[in-house]
Amino acid sequence: MNWVVVGQGAIGLLWYHHLNQLPKKHTINETNSAHEAHDINGINALHLLASTTHDVSLNTYQFTSLTQQVSNGIVNYCQSTHLSSADAIILCVKSYQITGVIKQIAPYLHNNCQIILAHNGMGTLSELSDTFVNNHSIYAMLLTHGCLRTSLLKITHTGAGHASIGLLAGKQNYIKQQALLSVLNKALPQVYYESNIAKKQWEKLAINCVINPITALHNIDNGAVANVEFEQQVAALVSEIIVIANTQGVIFKQEELVWSIYKVAKLTAKNCSSMRCDILAQQKTEVDYINGYIHRLGEEYALATPENTQLWQAIKALEANALIDCN
């Protein structure tokens, strides 16, 4: 398989580094037999598709492992020819960038290319064209790894985790799917296949709907969300999410979902949420695909979501002020 990682953020570089550690399959030549030329544990090729604002003259990255071991690697940047031969693409970009990236790369992709969406929030699938969805296997990937980009092309793996992956839409090819999972598990274990990835997505969405906006608005670490002052707000947010999730055939119990949220808040107590990081960095957030997604579905089904709507609007105002200050 030929792999392309899209995005040079923390998660993009995390996957690029670990895929880059796998052995590459060799080309058959006069000194290789057909058997020797094939390594079932490797990949054919790996490339990184960086944003247009990225300086491609920077061709080395630095990775710091959980054990504080520092290693350097070469960045092989992606060209259109690499997209044309890609068998699997991991999109590690912000949710609001997915549609634009897909539009740019779609003309180069062959119809059997497998697409993995690794972003926060929900709602990007509905923005993709029917033609694209029907021509590709589109997966969702959810990660619990902690990773921090300390500077351009420098990342630190801050917390061990796992990944869940499941088919969202499009073609399903069992053999290609198994090959995909095999490579991902060899690169960065453990990667679990979820036949019901939608429920996992909704659980992560609920966690993001609570932790991200509260920490961003109050400029606090994740653990502070478990403080008693937010208890009623957390309960109200979860109640709305459960009602909206139910319209999509996803069922949760209030106490179980609240427990999951507090568990993540405590496990990541000293962490800065992605939304808070975006606000502090004066960058656009993913709130439109988090609390904003709940708001839009609420409107679609004529269901009130006052708590999620209020947080969505508050973050949009904070985001607008941050962007104005930046300019």
Overall domain count for the chain:
2
**Domain co-membership, 51 together with 64:** yes
46: burial class by Cβ within 10 Å (0-12, 13-18, 19+)? buried
Last residue within a domain, chosen from 152, 169, 195: 195
User: Residue 60: which domain range?
Assistant: 2-195
From residue 221, alpha-carbon distances to 193, 216, 301 in Å are: 31, 9, 34
Q: Contact 223/266 with Cβ under 8 angstroms?
A: yes
Task: Identify the pLDDT of residue 35.
Answer: 38
Task: Identify the pLDDT of residue 24.
Answer: 81
Sign for the pseudo-dihedral over CA of 285, 291, 294, 296? negative
Q: Is 113 helix (H, G, I), strand (E, B) or coil?
A: coil
CATH number of the CATH domain containing 217 = 1.10.1040.10
Task: Identify the pLDDT of residue 218.
Answer: 97
Task: Identify the pLDDT of residue 154.
Answer: 96
Last residue within a domain, chosen from 195, 227, 250: 195
**Domain co-membership, 6 together with 151:** yes
**Domain co-membership, 124 together with 53:** yes
Task: Identify the pLDDT of residue 55.
Answer: 81
Low-confidence ranges of the chain (pLDDT < 50): 27-40
**Domain co-membership, 238 together with 212:** yes
Last residue within a domain, chosen from 165, 195, 225: 195
**Domain co-membership, 180 together with 286:** no
Task: Identify the pLDDT of residue 37.
Answer: 38
Determine which helix (DSSP H) or strand (DSSP E) holds 14, and give its type and residue range: helix 10-20
CATH number of the CATH domain containing 103 = 3.40.50.720
Task: Identify the pLDDT of residue 39.
Answer: 45
Global confidence as pTM: 0.92
**Domain co-membership, 179 together with 216:** no
Per-residue model confidence as pLDDT tens digits over 193-221: 999 999 999 999 999 999 999 999 999 99
Q: Contact 268/187 with Cβ under 8 angstroms?
A: no
